[in-house]
Amino acid sequence: MSEQTPAAPPATPPADEHRRIEAAAAAEGETQSGFVRFMSSPVGRNLGLIIALLVLCAVGAITAGDRFVDTDNMVTILRFASIIGVVSIGMTFVIIGGGIDLSVGAIVALSSVWATTLATQTMAEDTHWLLMVFVACAVGVGCGLINGVLVAYGRMAPFIATLAMFAAARGLAEIISEQRTQLVDVRELVDTINGELLGISVLIWIFAVVSAIGWVLLNRTTFGRRTIAVGGNATAARLAGIAVKRHTVLLYVVLGLACGIAGIMLTARTGTGSGTHGQLYELDAIAAVVIGGTLLTGGRGTIVGTVFGVLIFQTLTNVFTLNNLDSSTQAVAKGAIIVVAVLLQQRVAVRSSDST
């Protein structure tokens, strides 16, 4: 949003300045003392989320007893959380980078449909089921690329560019599938991804691996530091020599890839590809990211927070299901959680910025 400064492009700054700004962006919030420092530390920042999750689990254990505290039930929660979780990890990058993506659900639908067309499935049967995974990921990356280019080089507001993709991708999914639900005939795909590996559901493995990669990418690589720098202050990042536009495109591509992975996960879980898949995932993902402590304005956020955000919502759903409560009550509870979480974070944010 702050990148329409048409000032003359700077000469490439010296490398050390570059490093200094990135370090400064990363080190923000580490110079306070006492309570504030604790609250800004990884544990402190996620403390509210951990407490919220524990409270939810306590409520679940009290109200549903053994039916909640049960390995099978935990697995059910995690399997359910895995798909929206993968999307949310990708969304975390885009939002930290100062953007937003409303098209994730539509991309999930399109990639599931594209990966299950008769042509793709026939080809996959002739070669290998991984081809379907590749197609889904490629479709996701393609959509992300379009989003990114429209935002970075087309100078469209992310909200608008991805709104266009939101409409177009689902429409295209319906055209390709002729508005029908496409069954997966390649059983290996369903049996593998919807099956188990080392006693744990493969869907959960994928969520875990994507989260781990996301954490490393954000916290241990230049890519992650640049993401924080771009989202925190695009102009400063540009002056520091970061190719802001190219980086923005990459962020949307990362999210697109995540959507492609989620698309093939959903395809395996349901055994179908459909234009109706992934409805309202954009809202679920954004909500999970925001209650996970990522600022919607960009520049700050954590993968761990997002994972907690996802888990909180899906555990809530599970507790409600176990207690026979209806979805309308659940929607009200979700709304309340979002408000409380954001209000709490604002207090922490105000405190830390006051004391600098």
126 touching other proteins, by CB under 8 A: no
327 touching other proteins, by CB under 8 A: yes
N-term to C-term CA, the chain: 25
3-state secondary structure of 7: coil
Under a CB-based contact definition with an 8 Å cutoff, are residues 137 and 120 in contact? no
Instruction: Write the single-letter amino acid at 62.
Output: I
DSSP state of 280: T
User: Given the complex with other proteins, which of 77 and 244 has the nearer CB atom?
Assistant: 77
2 touching other proteins, by CB under 8 A: no
Stretch that binds other proteins, among 141-149, 234-242, 285-293, 324-332 (CB under 8 A): 324-332
72 touching other proteins, by CB under 8 A: yes
Place of tokens 């039916």: 67
Count of residues that bind other proteins according to CB under 8 A: 42
DSSP state of 66: G
Q: In the structure encoding, which two tokens stand for residue 318, read together?
A: 């599970």
| CA 120, 129, 265, 209 torsion-angle sign | negative
Selected binder of other proteins within 38, 70, 195, 246 (CB under 8 A): 70
Burial class (CB in 10 A: 0-12, 13-18, 19+), 10: exposed
Q: How far is the CB of 253 from other proteins (least distance, A)?
A: 24
Stretch that binds other proteins, among 175-183, 231-239, 249-257, 294-302 (CB under 8 A): 175-183
- Euclidean distance between CA atoms 237 and 12, whole angstroms: 12
User: Given the complex with other proteins, which of 75 and 164 has the nearer CB atom?
Assistant: 75
Selected binder of other proteins within 2, 181, 192, 219 (CB under 8 A): 181
Q: What residues from 241 to 300 belong to the interface with other proteins (CB under 8 A)?
A: 266, 269-272, 274-277, 279-280
Q: How far is the CB of 329 from other proteins (least distance, A)?
A: 10
341 touching other proteins, by CB under 8 A: no
Q: How far is the CB of 152 from other proteins (least distance, A)?
A: 31
- Euclidean distance between CA atoms 299 and 304, whole angstroms: 16
Stretch that binds other proteins, among 65-73, 204-212, 239-247, 293-301 (CB under 8 A): 65-73
* Residue from 12, 37, 23 nearest 352 by CA: 37
Q: Where does the chain show beta strands of DSSP type E?
A: 182-183, 196-197, 200-201, 272-273
Under a CB-based contact definition with an 8 Å cutoff, are residues 117 and 93 in contact? no
Selected binder of other proteins within 19, 59, 61, 67 (CB under 8 A): 67
Contact positions toward other proteins, by CB under 8 A?
Answer: 36, 67, 70, 72-73, 76-77, 79-80, 83-84, 174, 179-181, 183, 190, 194, 266, 269-272, 274-277, 279-280, 314, 317-318, 321-322, 324, 326-328, 347, 351, 354-355
